[in-house]
Structure 1
Amino acid sequence: MDFRTFATSAIMNFLIALGVLLGGCLLSGVGAIFVSKPPLFTMNDYAERLKIWAIVAAIGGTFDTIDELEKGFLGGAPGEVVKHLLLIASAMTGAHTASIIIHWLTQES
């Protein structure tokens, strides 16, 4: 994987995780209004519960990534291992950024 492909994938992972979490939390707030629950508390709760799913959605499923990590470890390609770990980290950063935004919007800690 060359640098351009890696950078594109990292940016996409970040933004996909950010969008999944923001969209899920904002729509959970709308759903909470329909079922007479407090929307801000619901959004804040889902900000933590959806984090792992945003990461999984961003990296395209865990099995492909785990397979690539295994090939890198067993095939003696540490560069590929580092690249895949950085792609996972970019997805985690996107999910965490969205979580911070939701906590900021709801004024909850």
Structure 2
Amino acid sequence: MTRELLSSLVDVFFVAFGVIIGGALIGSIGAFLTGKPPLTEIYNLSQSLKIWAIVAAIGGSFDAITSIERGLFSGIHDDILRTLMMLFTALIGAQSGTILLQWLVGGEQ
């Protein structure tokens, strides 16, 4: 694994993690202002923002699909492996942020 790939994977992890944490916390401010329970909203938002965190972390879904297509049809297998590693790392980052927030707000709401 090259240094550039490792650096990219760390960035992807923390972007996905940050989208979950930031989105849920800022969203809870909106919930507070509208009279909804903020902790329940943090729990709900952390669940519903996962897919958007993954998309944001990999830089848009079309680039990932294009990389997989190029790997399958042009024989460039490094692109497939790199894209799958980025998707998996983004998924881990989003899930880590979700678990952290749900742990902080006290589990199921």
Do both proteins adopt the same fold according to a TM-score greater than 0.5, normalized to the shorter chain? Answer: yes
Provide, for residues 64-100 of structure 1, a one-character-per-residue CA deviation record: whole Å limited to 9, x for no partner: 1110110011112223211110011101100000000
Alignment of 1:1-109 (within 5 A): 3-109=2-108
Q: Distance in 2 between the 1:22 and 1:60 partners?
A: 18
1:59 positional shift = 0.4
Alignment RMSD (CA, Å): 1.1
Query: What secondary structure, in the 3-state scheme, does the structure 1 residue paired with 2:107 have?
Result: coil
What amino acid is aligned across from residue 44 of structure 2 in structure 1? D
Q: What secondary structure sits across from 1:36 in the alignment?
A: coil
* Structure 2 residues without counterparts, runs of 5 or longer: none
Distance 1:16 1:78 in 2: 25
4+ long deviations beyond 3 Å: none
Distance in 1 of aligned mates of 2:21 and 2:27: 10
Q: Distance in 1 between matches of 2:64 and 2:3?
A: 19
- Kindly provide the amino acid, as one letter, of the partner of residue 80 in structure 1: D
**How many Å apart are 1:30 and its aligned residue?**
1.3
Letter of the structure 1 residue corresponding to residue 102 of structure 2: H
Unpaired runs of at least 5, structure 1 = none
